[in-house]
Amino acid sequence: MDVLTIGDALITMNPMSNGPLRFVNSFERKVGGAELNVAIGCSRLGLKTGWISRLGQDEFGRHIYSFARGEGIDVEHVKLVEGYPTSVYFKEILNGNRINSYYYRGNSPTETLKTTDIDEEYVKQFKVIHISGVFSAIHKNNREIILALLKIAKKNNVYVTLDPNIRLKLWSAEEARNTLCSYLPYVDMIMMGEEEAEILFSTSKMDELTQLLEETYSIKNFVLKRGAKGAVGYEDDQITSSPALENLEIVDEIGAGDAFASGYIYGIINGWTMEKRLSFANSVAAFVLTVPGDNEGLPYMEDLEKFLGLKKDIQR
């Protein structure tokens, strides 16, 4: 097995028109959830993925379960539980494509997960475990689950990637910093945005980050995502920059970070250089930016090959 993720998935209500949510009457029901998005992205690229989760024993839970299974993700460790409705969120698209999220996940089904549900025999089969801050933000219990998972990963030499995915609607900057920094001794690689770097480490300057991450947490590999300015990676004392793709018609930026994570993880598993990993991850993210929905735009390898000019794209 290649990549394992753990998290809360939700029904995404995508508005059919822009403007304040109180005036939007129609929505398209889709599926979201940062960690599930990464599993979908990796699976579409051809990796063998698993996802640990709990969903509500309801219509939305059943839909997400079959959706994940349909994407080829191993759902052996996903269960539907009574008494906890499947999480939902609504997107609001305002002028200039600014998107607000409104969460209905106060009682997430993942709250029923216990540390004993994390099965070492299952976890140790994977090459990479990808965690994101969202799962830890939605309930304090989930932080114990993550620590249990990280300890198993460390014991079995499984590579751990972290996307802080800090959602200030779900927890405070201080809580995010304390929790996520407590995971760092078990983390091999971080991919973060500039604002997230400021929240976690009080700087988004590469030289300060390299020093702090190496000296305090022994982390020798990280990526700083800088939106339209592209991404910068640090590894083996070397800094590598990769520009973002230009001239994209961005319709929905939600999910692009998870798409980037999928592409980057694909590169780690295939032993690629930082330069190749970053440019591939940027291309995967570009696909998601141009399609509404959190994961619909995630490309298959064939789409990328055509996009990168490696395969002929015959349209008709």
Ligand X SMILES: O=C(O)C(=O)C[C@H](O)[C@H](O)COP(=O)(O)O
Binding residues for ligand X (CB under 6 A): 32-34, 37, 101, 134, 165, 167, 254-258, 294
Q: Which is nearer to ligand X, 152 or 265 (CB)?
A: 265
Distance CA 9, CA 68 (A): 10
Q: Which is nearer to ligand X, 50 or 193 (CB)?
A: 193
Least distance between ligand X and beta carbon 42 (Å): 14
Least distance between ligand X and beta carbon 277 (Å): 17
Q: Which is nearer to ligand X, 33 or 292 (CB)?
A: 33
Torsion angle of alpha carbons 286, 288, 291, 292, nearest 10°?
A: -140
Distance CA 124, CA 155 (A): 9
Q: Which is nearer to ligand X, 224 or 256 (CB)?
A: 256
Residue with tokens 């970053």: 278
Within 8 A by CB and 6+ apart from 196, the residues are: 164, 165, 166
Least distance between ligand X and beta carbon 16 (Å): 18
Least distance between ligand X and beta carbon 129 (Å): 18
Distance CA 126, CA 77 (A): 14
The answer to whether residue 258 is catalytic is yes
Least distance between ligand X and beta carbon 35 (Å): 8
Least distance between ligand X and beta carbon 154 (Å): 25
Joined tokens for residue 298: 């995630």
Q: Which is nearer to ligand X, 2 or 196 (CB)?
A: 196
Task: Indicate which residue of 258, 294, 303, 313 is catalytic.
Answer: 258
Joined tokens for residue 243: 């520009």
Q: Which is nearer to ligand X, 105 or 277 (CB)?
A: 105
For CA atoms 81, 162, 273, 254, the dihedral sign is positive
Which residues are part of the catalytic machinery?
Answer: 258
